[in-house]
Amino acid sequence: MKYSELADVYEKLEKTQSKLEKADILAELFSKAGSDDLPKLVFLASGRVFPSYSEEVIGIADQLMTKSIARATGFSAGEVEEKFKETGDLGLSASHFVEKRKQRTLLSKELTLEKVFENIRELSTIEGTRSQKKKMDLIAELFASAEPKEAVYITRTVLEELRIGVARGIIRDAIVKAFLKPEDMEEKKKLTEVTENAFNITSDFSKVAKIAKEKGVKGLEKVEVKLGQPMHVMLGEKVDSIKEIIDKFGKVAVEYKYDGLRAEIMKKGDKIWVFTRRLENVSHQFPDLVEFCKKALKPDECVVDGEILAIDPKTGYPQPFQNLSQRIHRKYNIEEMTKKIPIQVNIFDIMYLNGEMLFDKPFNERRKILEKSVKTIPKKFQLAKQIVTDDLEKAEFFYKQALDAGQEGVFLKVLDSKYVFGRHVDGWYKIKPIMETLDLVIVAATWGEGKRTKWLSSYVLACRDQDTGSFLPCGMMGTGLTEEMFQVVTDTLKPLITEEKGKEVKIKPRVVVEVAYQEIQKSPTYEAGYALRFPRMLRVREADRSPDECDTLERLKKLYKSQGREG
């Protein structure tokens, strides 16, 4: 297929806002493509050359693109930069210079879709010495044959900013229309579901399109889990009360809702993959988890679903998510981090076992299979805490236990529900306390240690006694701040210090901060009589709130009661 055909379609897509029209335009193009071109076309139509879960990156920044345009067209990088400043869009700049180009190579020939796709893909494989030059050559080679319109979209695709408003639903609908040709609305709905499901399993529309073209709906229905290729996951609907779910379904499974990172774990013999909910491969970041899996997962092949928690290396107690987040994108010192921030994994589902997909089995049956498949490593790799009950009191008690254990809440899972991707009724329901944020005043602080000596790094928060106007401490906050925030807060507090004793300082109550927290507890240690659990700073309320407008003890009491743990 000629790349110009795609460029024409991009242009049409840019001109319409209508999703229906966009899907129609794409369907027409998809149905024209041959089997070899189709996967490439589907990728390019979504502005990419790799599936979203792939670790490959094109990795070309504006600067290198500017140089490539210059090299291909015979203008200087300075001239291209000027144009970029003027248009704000490198794609348009590329098109301008391609139109005016000073040299047209003899080799120039009509661009094919394949050529564009392959050259862009190749960019991700180039490393080492002279890699910049090699990358420029690949891009310049495309520009050498490109028409101005094509140059716009080549540039944007390489920079990974196509911006033609083609979301995943549009690609899916275009595939349905092009290859499955539904005859009425009902059929369209069913075929759309099958296509969506195939995408959820493969996470790759280029594959889905090829199967739809070659094997139709029957092929899509037979799409299989491939170990190493992440699938989408099931999520929960939010509900306000446990009662409404027990009233509707009777006996349900009540599980801890752990406050950590979703892990989709795939095992094939010795090989273990760990993917996040956004399908990022984090196996490399969690070598400890990989080791647990090798010992704890009994089947030769399986896919299980769970939640990774950070734990305190001394106490073994779960830590807030922020601690774990330091491990997620880490590239270096990974071994060291496994010691500094050890983890615990709680597994709650199994979707695949030795060649068999378990999506259609009821939840309680999957749980039984899971129990047989996991050899628990206590406190490290275990099954999610669960009770099965229709007794509201028991369920609520369990919910409180989950909160006491520092977790977010509970999931209520319908016993005969299938594993369905995304959020669905009659599946999983989640309950967590809806904590409104509080505006509190900083009344004292402590100078930090080590790397933090230059900052005031933990803050005593206070609410206002509505009767006397005095400020009553109700918690201490030291986490949740970035380095910049520490600096800003320190700069703001320093002039307000009234007393200094060792590392501790008292602060004039002037600075109001908005704070999120896990819950409010009764506390004899704080003057307010209440303490915030895991307070996290959201922002300093600089201009919009004065200390006498901050939240009162009365409000704290009310929020405490609303958690339903009075007594």
Which residue of the set 22, 257, 361, 413 is catalytic? 257
- Closest approach of Cβ 257 to ligand AMP, in Å? 4
Nearer to ligand AMP, 398 or 471 (CB): 398
Phi–psi pair at 47, nearest 5 degrees: 75, 25
Nearer to ligand AMP, 383 or 481 (CB): 383
Q: Are the C-beta atoms of 1 and 32 separated by less than 8 Å?
A: yes
> Is 238 marked active-site?
no
**Distance, CA of 409 to CA of 330 (rounded, Å):** 28
Cα Rg, the chain, nearest whole Å: 28
- Closest approach of Cβ 411 to ligand AMP, in Å? 4
- Closest approach of Cβ 276 to ligand AMP, in Å? 9
- Closest approach of Cβ 428 to ligand AMP, in Å? 6
- Name every residue whose Cβ is closer than 8 Å to that of residue 488 and which is 6 or more positions away in sequence: 540
Q: Is 55 helix (H, G, I), strand (E, B) or coil?
A: coil
Provide the CB-side half-sphere exposure for 494 (13 A, CA).
9
**Distance, CA of 511 to CA of 545 (rounded, Å):** 9
Nearer to ligand AMP, 194 or 410 (CB): 410
**CA dist 472 to 438, 444, 468, 509, 544, Å?**
14, 11, 10, 11, 21
- Name every residue whose Cβ is closer than 8 Å to that of residue 511 and which is 6 or more positions away in sequence: 441, 442, 489, 492, 493, 496, 540, 547
- Closest approach of Cβ 298 to ligand AMP, in Å? 21
Phi–psi pair at 563, nearest 5 degrees: -75, -10
Nearest residue relative to ligand AMP (C-beta): 262
CB atoms within 10 A of CB 460: 22
- Closest approach of Cβ 211 to ligand AMP, in Å? 28
Return the biggest CA–CA distance within the chain.
86
Nearer to ligand AMP, 150 or 255 (CB): 255
Nearer to ligand AMP, 464 or 536 (CB): 536
Q: Locate 515 and state its tokens.
A: 């704070």
Give residue 320's region: left, alpha or beta (phi > 0; psi -120 to 50). beta
Contact positions toward ligand AMP, by CB under 6 A?
A: 235-236, 255-258, 262, 277, 307, 348, 384, 411, 430
* DSSP per residue, 439-477: EEEEEEEEE--GGGTTSEEEEEEEEE-TTT--EEEEEEE
- Closest approach of Cβ 418 to ligand AMP, in Å? 15
Q: Are the C-beta atoms of 283 and 290 separated by less than 8 Å?
A: yes
Nearer to ligand AMP, 307 or 519 (CB): 307
Nearer to ligand AMP, 175 or 384 (CB): 384
Nearer to ligand AMP, 149 or 423 (CB): 423
One-letter amino acid identity for 150? E
- Closest approach of Cβ 425 to ligand AMP, in Å? 15
**CA dist 112 to 4, 115, 356, 551, Å?**
8, 5, 41, 64
Positions marked active-site: 257
